[in-house]
Amino acid sequence: MRLIELRLKNLNSLKGEWHIDFSDPAFLNEGIFAITGQTGAGKTTILDAICLALYSQTPRLGDITGSTNEIMTQGTGECSAEVIIEIDAKRYQCYWYQHRAHKKAKGNLLPIRHEISEVKTGKILEEKKSKTSAYIQ
């Protein structure tokens, strides 16, 4: 599996929308790169986002069940993580999303969406939250 792109929104200290394109020549032309920044800057959160999109869990928080969400940036009403991955020259989008009622910071948490689809056709391969993680694995 190759990681092609990562998008995330409102995870921990990474408030707002973030995008990393691993197909950028800056990544492709170098064999290795470092994630750097101050304590609490959000380095590990980048790895959390990849885990969320693929498995609906993070090493730090375990499974995000829907009734609690400690990773959504405080004061925001929605969060998401999305990766584009490539396996055998085929690309897939893995998408994880949770929001609060009316996308308000004080709204009740609403059910998590977790799905995988084919990039080329947009066809959804699995969208049942309890099955998507196993499907992706």
Residues that bind ligand ATP (CB under 6 A): 12-13, 37, 39-45, 70, 72-74
Instruction: Decide: 76 and 15 in contact? Cβ < 8 Å.
Output: yes
**Cβ nearer to ligand ATP, comparing 12 with 93:** 12
Q: How far is the CB of 37 from ligand ATP (least distance, A)?
A: 5
Q: How far is the C-alpha of 1 from the C-alpha of 54, rounded, in Å?
A: 12
Q: Residue 36 to residues 40, 42, 43: CA-CA distances in angstroms?
A: 11, 9, 7
Q: Residue 16 is inside which H or E element, if any?
A: strand 14-21
Find the shortest distance in angstroms from Cβ 74 to ligand ATP.
Answer: 4
Q: Which does 41 bind (CB under 5 to 8 A by kind): ligand ATP, Mg ion, none?
A: ligand ATP
Q: Which residues bind Mg ion (CB under 5 A)?
A: 43-44
